[in-house]
Chains A and B, each alone.
Chain A
Amino acid sequence: MGLKSYLSGLFKGFYSLLVGLRVTNSYFFHPSRIVTQQYPENRKTLKMFERFKGEVILVHNENNEHRCTGCGICEMNCPNGSIEIISKMETGEDGKKRKAIDKHIYHLSMCTFCGLCVKSCPSKALAFGNEFEHAVFDRAKLDKVLNKEGSVLMKGVE
């Protein structure tokens, strides 16, 4: 190794280190570039994107009506068996007996958010909710009944 290459290697190496130091140093003196989000504090301003897949919900309107007919297509499409539908027979206003939903059970603990239930639902009853704080102390709490107490099928949905 010649003295020249020895020295040039030394200085080049040293310079490359200084270049690196300049980057980190500039970050230290520019705290405005910090990107940390203070999570529990910013809960109020924290807004998820509308398509964010937090959980599956059964959409209810203000009259406590939903669009689920209890057909069971979502149950069939779910790859993990995280949806169970318990249906009942109900007499409609026209006196005809038809299938209706009793309980739409959703096992959040098994759901992989593939979106097949929402996509396959023929009456657009299901949707993704933005709730993401799912931590609970009891696993049983992750088994949810999606249709609210006393809710009925929206008129005009077959």
Chain B
Amino acid sequence: MQGVLYDFTGLIQSIDAVFRASMSDLWATVLEYAIIGIIYLVIYALIGLFLVYAERKVCAFIQVRLGPNRVGPKGFFQTIADFIKLLLKENIKIKNADGVLFNLAPFIVIVASFLTFGTVPFAKGLQGIDLNIGVFFIMAVSSMGVVGILLGGWSSNSKYSLIGAMRSGAQIVSYELSVGLSLVTMVILTGTMQLSQIIELQSDGWFIFKGHIPALISLIIMMIASTAEINRGPFDLAEAESELTAGYHTEYSGIKFAFFYLSEYMNMFVVSALVATVFFGGWMPLHIGSWQAFNHIMDFIPPIIWFILKSFALMYVIMLFKWTFPRLRIDQLLKLEWQYLLPISLFNVLLMAFVVYMKWYF
């Protein structure tokens, strides 16, 4: 079996065995949950902070600037400084805002992105929870974030926020369809929704090559629709800086704003991880059919590096979208979905089903 070199399953199992040997089953489970939770929290925050830094650097380079370069080497600790600043900032109480919902909204947003983060397979055996409906779970949970956005916009007693939130609602409801359909297209090819299995199936070639034309169309639609779903430019109508100042999070400050901010970046990470998993084989190294020597060399690169490289490359593309294109208008956004993406992806589902039926994939 390929990929044995860096298999974490054994390690995790032995840690589990040690815990269960030294205490009762209940305590072992609780303790494991706690440890995993803390590890995930830390990784979540670290990746989030790094992504903020990366985005700032990428956009700076695109815009012929240097970007953050004062705190730490090459400004590497800039986001940590920003984070500390946000922690220390005052949580402003908004007059006539709905207090409970106002405070609840950022938590809903961050919990939604955190739940999806739990299913991301970093390497073989390194996955928070390997559901047999993994793809479906990510889809379902990630759209929960919009509830938080709607609540935040509605409860902050600001017209800008309200407009932003309503836009976001309309946007996510429609783009969910395309994301779902393009994933369905791939599920037809894979025959499973379990993320770990999807990756295993790509050990002799990524699905983007296996599924050729329908997979490529599905990838393009997935990239566009998921960029829209995570409210990033050019689909950032919910924030729409030049129109609505900051959209749904205009009134948020301090750590609550940081939650919105962080969850945006983490959603981007989860989306690229999902795309990397479904289309580009997740942590699976680049394997080409029967080139044994080549495949062996590729196997020496740890899967976690493969995974990070793939998802960061995809994130770079999403960032490039944001820093290149002007923003769409709300009716154009909906038109793009209902007039272009949805029909094409429906057609694509049929095409993929046909391809699979005829066994025209590799």
Contact = CB atoms under 8 A, between A and B. Distances in A.
A contacts B directly (C-beta below 8 A) = yes
A113 B147 CA distance: 56
Interface in A5-48: 10, 17, 20-21, 23-25, 27-28, 31, 33-36, 38
Contacts of A21: 320-321, 324
Contacts of B321: 21
Judged by DSSP, the binding face of B is helix
Nearest to A13: B340
Nearest to A37: B66
Contacts of A36: 64-66
Nearest to A31: B61
Contacts of B64: 27, 33-36
A24 B65 contact: no
A22 to B, nearest CB: 9
Interface residues of A, number: 15
A28 B65 CA distance: 10
Interface string B83-125: 0000000000000000000000000000000000000000000
B58 A28 contact: yes
A42 B89 CA distance: 33
Counting contact residues on chain B (CB < 8 A from A), the size range is 10 to 19
Contacts of A10: 340
A136 to B, nearest CB: 24
A19 to B, nearest CB: 10
B291 interface: no
Interface in B44-92: 58, 61-66, 69
B341 to A, nearest CB: 10
B323 interface: yes
23 contacts: A10-B340, A17-B324, A20-B325, A21-B320, A21-B324, A24-B320, A24-B323, A25-B320, A27-B61, A27-B62, A27-B63, A27-B64, A28-B58, A28-B62, A31-B61, A34-B61, A34-B64, A35-B65, A36-B64, A36-B65, A36-B66, A38-B66, A38-B69
